[in-house]
Amino acid sequence: MAGTALISTLAFDDLVDTTERIYAKGSTKVADLDAVKSMFMVESVPNGTGDRKVYDEYDGETYARLKVEGGDAQKVQVIKGYNKTMYAKRVAAEIDITFEARTFGKNKEIISRLTSLSTFVPQRMALDGTHRFTFYTATSYVDMDGETVDITMGDSLALGSASHTLTGVSDTYSTIVPGNPQFSAGALEVAMLQANTQILSNFGEQRVLSFDTVVTGNDPATIKNVKQLLNSTADVDSSNSGVTNEYKGMFKHVILPRLATTATGAYDSTKAKYWFYIASGELEAHLGIWEEANLKTPSSTNNGEDVHNDDWTFGTRGTYGYCIVSPKGFLGSTGLGA
């Protein structure tokens, strides 16, 4: 750290100030959190409003009706759909700076620890948000803390289900791309056709949503297929000269590098080919933030020192919740062809 004195020689207040600057800078390193947030409607939850938030789904009928001269306008109906409760989850991490590290000049070690501290909460937020899609065919999973996470929709089914229900009629709809194909132009066309036919209101009426996003993990072959479809242009000297790429600019590509993982964040090859077709901004997926990631420092009144071992302890905290009320606006494929 250019321009900074040796950490081992810093007084307590100076170390706290240095740590705050390191924390603020280091929190920007979790780039995929922004990608995850782009899949959700994000809102800050005010203090004093409880540790949970209920989201309700409402549908109105779709079309206006003929009004004859002198006649009354026809009344339209509104129906309540499903609801889902988001629960606040508080996460934390702490790092000890030992007397020995401070005294004997282990500056790189201290800087490394304090820098990594700033990424713990954002990385967990990114993992938890991504796992809403990683486990999209399941109704729950057990996370790294041993907690069972409910990831059902308001209709109690998984995000990816062939038989989602409606509250007003007996019709069902599917959010699974038929055949679970790997991503390709043909597979995307299948998903696009499904987006035209499988998005229904709770009255059973067809809805038109703006599907504008393809989501994948970081599997190189899948990424290549998406980018070729999205960006390719024909060489003017080739046999395909003048052929237009109909898909160019049609959708955006979001990469979630933690998609193909287990509940603990380890790589899971069985999910490498997962891909999704999403109407971003219209999918009823919510991220509520009760407490932004923040730094917790020891108190200067007691020098922040543990009397038993002389450690100075720095921590980070954050509180957030995820829920998806309705899967309308989501279509998914495992890429496994089954």
Residue 23 has pLDDT above 60, yes or no: yes
CA distance 74 to 76: 6
Bridge-based pairing state of the strands 78-87 and 275-278: unpaired
Q: Nearest Cα to 152, choosing from 171, 132, 172, 123?
A: 132
CA distance 315 to 120: 10
Which of 215-229, 238-252, 259-273 shows the lowest mean pLDDT across its residues? 238-252
CA distance 47 to 50: 8
Return the CATH fold of 9-56+77-333.
Answer: phage-related protein like fold (3.90.1690)
Instruction: Find the helix or strand (DSSP H, E) in which 52 lies.
Output: strand 52-60
Greatest alpha-carbon pair distance for the chain in Å reads 91
Q: Write down how long the chain is.
A: 338
Residue 1 has pLDDT above 90, yes or no: no
**DSSP classification of residue 111:** H
Predicted pLDDT at 265: 96
Name the band, by pLDDT with cuts 50, 70 and 90, for residue 10: low
Residue-wise pLDDT for 307-325, tens only, equals 788 888 888 999 999 999 9
Query: What average pLDDT does range 146-164 have in this prediction?
Result: 97
Other Cβ atoms closer than 10 A to 10: 18
Residue-wise pLDDT for 45-96, tens only, equals 999 999 999 999 988 777 777 777 877 777 777 888 899 999 999 999 988 8
Residue 17 has pLDDT above 80, yes or no: no
The pTM for the full model equals 0.87
Phi, psi of 187 (to 5 degrees): -65, -40
Query: What average pLDDT does range 86-112 have in this prediction?
Result: 82
Residue 236 has pLDDT above 50, yes or no: no
Cα-based torsion angle of the residue sequence 253, 189, 331, 283 in order, rounded to the nearest 10 degrees: 60
Domain ranges (residues) in the chain: 9-56+77-333
**Average pLDDT, whole number, for the chain?**
87
